[in-house]
Amino acid sequence: MNLKTNFSAFSGKNFLKLLDFTPVEISTLIDLAAELKTMKKSGIPHKYLEGKNVALIFEKTSTRTRCAFEVAASDLGMGSTYLDPVASQIGKKESIADTARVLGRMYDGIEYRGFEQNIVEELAKYAGVPVFNGLTNEFHPTQILADFLTIKEHFGKLKGINFVYMGDARYNMGNSLMVGCAKMGLNFTACAPKEYFPDEKLIAQCEEIAKETGATLNFESDPMKATENADVIYTDVWVSMGESDEVWKERIDSLLPYQVNRKLMDNASENAVFMHCLPAFHDLNTGIGKEVGEKFGLDALEVTDEVFESPQSIVFDEAENRMHTIKAVMLSMMSE
């Protein structure tokens, strides 16, 4: 392989959560993704995993993650099989442990998107091949690799970046971004009402990591204080996949003051960027956006259309980088 990044230490590993990886390892994955991105843009073939196959289990829906895994697999010369949220036996007729042992006999790697983190951990325990977390309720680690590659491309560094996460910080994105920032030495601020801050045990774990890396962790309920000097303002949907529609009212009542709008972006650093893992409710052009927007008299939810469509928004760079980073994860962990 004519690659500069040395990833031999990753062979056979699972990618379940960022807590399992050192800052140097996370950096290596980001560098490998950047290298693979350059190869792809230069039209240099990189079918390093020819003859292998990956299974893609999706118990929740997806656009970016599924397409990123499928395109990355194809670029690496692999076959892939998509198992959708209804058409497989998983969880209903067959346990996770049995599914893992079956797929582990046929495939060289397995991606899982679904519910509790312990499901993907269990899958990894029984599969005998590398397992990749494509999003659970608690963590979305491949998204963070893409976000950090994007920040690095934009600012030339990760360490010392003032990173503000607005909105529900208790779920997969808030948790994973806090862990990622702690690992990579960013200054992380979660901005939300107190009851939307991440789990205290996870905060304590991240505070220990931050002592080693120089990261800082802040929890702030005042949006103007939180966004002052921010380099990155990041948000996610207020109601995540798998949650009941009944929580919309409570979320809107609590989180509307945390909507990312022009006033917040103007309060941040001059060169601040807006980021979002997507999909985003920035207008009424989606089924849910229209229904919720009309019911509550709003034309946008977590981010205004003005910010989403502004030159400060780098959301589509992030989306593209899902593919390059997922490719780095599969290549490094599925290579012998």
63 binds, among ligand NVA, ligand CP, none (CB under 5 to 8 A by kind): ligand CP
- Our finding on whether 276 is near ligand CP (CB under 6 A) is no
Report the chain's terminal Cα–Cα distance, integer Å: 12
The Cα–Cα gap between 297 and 181 comes to 35
237 binds, among ligand NVA, ligand CP, none (CB under 5 to 8 A by kind): ligand NVA
- Our finding on whether 241 is near ligand NVA (CB under 6 A) is yes
Q: Give me the 123-152 binding string for ligand NVA, x by CB under 6 A, dash otherwise.
A: ------------x-----------------
What's the closest the beta carbon of residue 173 comes to ligand CP, in angstroms?
9
What's the closest the beta carbon of residue 171 comes to ligand NVA, in angstroms?
5
236 binds, among ligand CP, ligand NVA, none (CB under 5 to 8 A by kind): ligand NVA
Q: Which residues pair with 231 in a beta bridge?
A: none
Catalytic residue selected from 181, 236, 251, 276:
236
Residues 192 to 231 in contact with ligand CP, rule: CB under 6 A:
none
| DSSP string for residues in 191-255 | ES-GGGSPPHHHHHHHHHHHHHHT-EEEEES-HHHHHTT-SEEEE--SS-TTS-GGGHHHHHHHH
240 binds, among ligand NVA, ligand CP, none (CB under 5 to 8 A by kind): ligand NVA
Cβ proximity to ligand CP: between 75 and 111 the closer is 111
What's the closest the beta carbon of residue 241 comes to ligand NVA, in angstroms?
4
Contact 65, 15 (CB under 8 A): no
Q: Is the alpha carbon torsion for 83, 86, 90, 94 positive or negative?
A: negative
The Cα–Cα gap between 31 and 35 comes to 6
Does the annotation mark 140 as catalytic?
A: yes
Please calculate the CA angle 170-180-230 and round it to the nearest 5 degrees.
Answer: 80
- List the one residue from 65, 80, 187, 240 that touches ligand CP (CB under 6 A): 65
What does the binding site for ligand CP look like in residue numbers (CB under 6 A)?
A: 62-65, 135, 143, 277-279
Catalytic residues: 113, 140, 143, 236, 277, 322
